[in-house]
Amino acid sequence: MEFKDYYATLGVTKSATDKEVKQAYRKLARKFHPDVNPGDKASETRFKQVNEAYEVLGDADKRGKYDELGANWRQYEQVDPRGGGQPFGGAGWGPGVRGGRTGGHVLTEEEMRQAFGEGDPFSDFFHAFFGGRPEASPTSPRQGRPAKGRRGRDVEQDLDLTLEQASQGATRRLTIKYGGHARTVDVRIPAGVADGSRVRVAGEGEHGAGSAGDLFLRVRIQPHPRFERKGQDLHITIHVPVTTAVLGGDAEVVALDGHALRLKIPSSTQNGQVFRLKGHGMPTIGKPADRGDIYATVVIRLPRSLTPEQRTLYEQLATLGDSTTTVSADETT
């Protein structure tokens, strides 16, 4: 078993103050956080190491016991975690007692498992010296009570949604398959989920001897025929007749929920001009009243053919002269 130099992991000296330890942890936690480095296994490993180091050095009692190890740490390596208590004579300091911290939030071992899956987020060194291994024995050595069984594995599955379902929220009945078994689960998807989101359904993963694992759903939003989503905003192209663009008028935009919205088109509207319909975009998860906007880009629809009368009118309009205003390259219309 390899000795873990928690001071080196955080990049501080043994004489570092509690404030310096905390500052070093926060800096490294931000740098290697999985949300900042999605899919980066090296950053994930470093985040676990940093979290474990602060779990010990960020606690005055644990840090004091850790410092007692010093150069004599190997004499404790032979301690049998099943039979003789902890190497420092204390009652188990399991990783779930305090958990690592991120900023002001405490990451428990359970939350670490949720973030990184089945793998144990703490090293053998940590377990041997600060938590023991409850799964090594069917009973608790100190109190004779049954120890917790091994947690079931987490299960991941893709979930396809329409943009309408993502906007309104949806209840889906899913068949979960793992280990040759299958079962049906009703899952509620919150309104506002984005493409690529992971939705956690607690306790619906693989059933173990102890607690069940979790189900993680990877959301995939299907392309929409009219709208393009950008964050919480929706973008759409609308076609208006040339007469409406010139003279002004109304255009209709049908929102995701089916409601027809009236868009006022002012006179002399230019091709490509963008209008905003406030509050009709995608909702924020957990805040359904907090919605993005719809941005409508105008495309002027020109006639494909003209009647003799229409052609005469356009010719008369042409004789009035070109009223186009010339603008410099750095101006916008």
Residues 165, 272 within the same domain: no
Q: Are residues 10 and 132 in the same domain?
A: yes
How many whole angstroms separate alpha carbon 80 and alpha carbon 112?
A: 26
CATH code of residue 169: 2.60.260.20
Using the predicted structure, report yes or no on whether residue 304 has a pLDDT greater than 90: no
Domain co-membership, 27 together with 128: yes
Is 1 part of a structural domain of the chain?
Answer: no
**36 shares its domain with 124:** yes
> 175 lies in which domain range?
155-221
Q: Give the residue with greater pLDDT, 174 vs 109.
A: 174
Three-state DSSP class for residue 292: coil
User: Looking at the structure, do residues 132 and 195 belong to the same domain, yes or no?
Assistant: no
Residue 16 lies in a domain: yes
Same domain, 129 and 109: yes
Q: Which tops the pLDDT comparison, 250 or 83?
A: 250
Claim to verify: residue 217 and residue 232 sit in the same structural domain? no
Residue 315 belongs to a domain? no
Residue 146 lies in a domain: no
The least confident of 141-155, 174-188, 231-245 is 141-155
Is 70 exposed, middle or buried (CB count within 10 Å of its CB: 0-12, 13-18, 19+)?
exposed
Same domain, 125 and 185: no
The pair of three-digit structure tokens given for residue 69, joined into one six-digit string? 């190890």
Q: Are 122 and 33 found together in one domain?
A: yes
- What is the residue type of 286? G
Q: Are 163 and 224 in contact (CB under 8 A)?
A: yes
The answer to whether the CB of 98 falls within 8 A of the CB of 106 is yes
Does residue 245 form part of some domain? yes
Residue 106 confidence class, pLDDT cut points 50, 70, 90: very low
Let me know if residue 96 belongs to a domain.
yes
Amino acid at 222: Q
- Lookup: tokens for 170: 């949806």
Among 4-8, 34-38, 278-282, 325-329, the minimum mean pLDDT is found in 325-329
Domain boundary among 177, 193, 221: 221
- The encoded tokens of residue 68 equal 């007692």
**Pairwise CA distance, residues 98 & 111, whole Å:** 12
- Alpha-carbon span 269 to 300, nearest angstrom: 9
Place of tokens 């377990």: 127
Of 72, 107, 136, at which residue does a domain stop? Answer: 136
What does the alpha-carbon distance between residue 192 and residue 165 come to, in Å, rounded to a whole number? 9
**Quick one: 37 and 123 in the same domain?**
yes
Range list of H helices, 143-263: 163-168, 242-247
Question: 257 and 217 share a domain?
Answer: no
**Domains of the chain: total:** 3
Does residue 48 lie within any of the structural domains?
Answer: yes
Cβ atoms 134, 148 nearer than 8 A: yes
Render pLDDT for 184-217 as a digit per residue (tens, 0 to 9): 888 888 899 999 888 888 888 777 666 778 888 8
Determine the pLDDT at residue 21.
Answer: 92
Give the end of a domain, one of 188, 204, 221.
Answer: 221
pLDDT for 55-101, tens place per residue? 888 888 888 888 877 645 555 544 444 344 444 444 333 333 333 34
Residues 174 and 281 in one domain: no
Residue 65 belongs to domain with CATH number:
1.10.287.110
Domain-embedded: residue 148: no
The alpha carbon of residue 304 and the mean position of all alpha carbons in its chain are separated, in whole angstroms, by 48
Amino acid at 16: A
With a CB cutoff of 8 Å and minimum separation 6, the contacts of 67 are 14
Helix (H) or strand (E) holding 182: strand 181-189
Phi-psi category of residue 223: left, alpha or beta, with phi > 0 → left and psi -120 to 50 → alpha:
beta
Which pair of structure tokens corresponds to residue 229? Answer: 């989503």
Joined tokens for residue 202: 């607690």
Taking the C-alpha atoms of residue 282 and residue 291, their distance in angstroms, rounded to an integer, is 5
